[in-house]
Amino acid sequence: MTRRRRRWSIGHLLDGFFFVFAGLAAIWLAYLSLTQAFQVGWAGVLLAIVFWGLLAYLVLPRLHRILTSIYVPDYFMGRTRTSDGLLGDPVNLAVLGEREQIERALAAAGWIAADPVGWGSSWRIITSTLGRRSYPRAPVSPLFLFGRMQDLAYQQEVAGSPAQRHHVRFWQCPDGWLLPGGRRVDWLAAGTFDRAVGLSLFTLQVTHRIDADTDIERDHIVESLSGVPGVEVDVIRDFATGYHSRNGGGDSITTDGDLPILDVRAIRIPDAAESARSAPSADAGVER
């Protein structure tokens, strides 16, 4: 005799309760620190900074997460989502091929894999941006598609510091998943250009601002990759036009809606024996 498993365990309900309660308590804390900031004289400047830090990095993200889980649908809509649940970079590229083939093609086209986000890399990107030093493998923030973080992240530094850079994230599509319209692709990607570091007026966080004309970056990525031998390009015209035809609806990006599909399946991956024989190189592996 087996007991029927409850859909909602007590543990998950408790987690949900604490998630929301912590958000409310954080609002109260932000309010207290703000009122205290006005009462303690010059030390209030420090408290005001604490208030901003609390608000931007703890209170608002938690609130956004709670509200977006209610109001933002989780089906594919041609946009990625940030870790707060807000809409992020648009999906503007598709790829047919295996992971290794994509990595080889990107390396041959001059793209550099980004370091994963961690204490060391986060510290380094801050100091490199402030000190205007080069950090070609600077990490990129997590964006979510299919409910998970990007599988690959590549970038190209511009002007010698991480403040400005081309970057593109890739997600592997689930088995059997089809684009709206029924076409099958193996990977989806979102590429945008970080044009500056600034304070976002929406999230109050220090972050990269992207260039609103995402087609420039998309075309830059396609151009760099189509120069690699073995890569073919196809296009679905007006794929995303229906997603982005609303202006003034909070859409801060512009696009002509085309979805380029990069086919990298012709790129050869040398097997283990071949790699051991030949010297390592970043070439795409197609016979020259």
Partner 1 sequence: MRRPAATVAGGVLVLLRALSGAVWGAAVLFGLPPWLRATAGFANGDNIIPAEDTIDDLGLPPEVFVGVLGVVFLVQVVFGILLLWGSNAARVIVMIVSTISIVTAFVSWWEVGAEITVATTLVTLALDILVLLALSSRDAAAFARRNEKRD
The site for partner 1 (CB under 8 A) is made up of 5, 11, 14-15, 18-19, 21-23, 25-26, 28-29, 32-33, 36, 39-40, 47, 58, 62, 65, 119
Smallest separation (angstroms) from partner 1 to the CB of 125: 15
**Residue 43 or 235 having the CB closest to partner 1:** 43
Contacts of 72 (CB under 8 A, 6+ apart): 81, 85, 86, 87
Least distance in Å: CB of 40 to partner 1?
Answer: 7
| C-alpha–C-alpha distance, residues 169 and 78, integer Å | 14
11 or 181, CB closer to partner 1? 11
Least distance (Å) from partner 1 to the CB of residue 11? Answer: 7
In the β-sheet with 148-149, what is the strand arrangement from edge to edge?
Answer: 87-90, 79-81, 144-145, 148-149
Cα separation, 121 vs 265, in Å, equals 33
Which of residues 123 and 198 has its CB atom nearest to partner 1 in the complex?
A: 123
Pairing of strands 152-158, 206-210: unpaired
Cβ 127 to partner 1, closest distance in Å? 18
For the bound state, the minimum distance from the C-beta of residue 203 to partner 1, rounded and expressed in Å, comes to 17
End-to-end CA distance of the chain: 67
Complex with partner 1: residue 40 or 233, whichever CB lies closer: 40
**Helix or strand run (H / E) with residue 113:** strand 112-113
- Minimal distance in Å, beta carbon 102 to partner 1? 24
Judged by beta carbon, residue 39 or residue 247, the one nearer partner 1 is 39
Distances (CA, A) of 208 to 1, 145, 196, 241: 57, 20, 6, 25
CA distance 136 to 113: 9
| Nearer residue to partner 1 within complex by CB, 5 or 237 | 5
Alpha carbons 8 and 94: distance in angstroms, whole number: 37
What backbone phi and psi angles, to 5 degrees, belong to 259? -115, 105
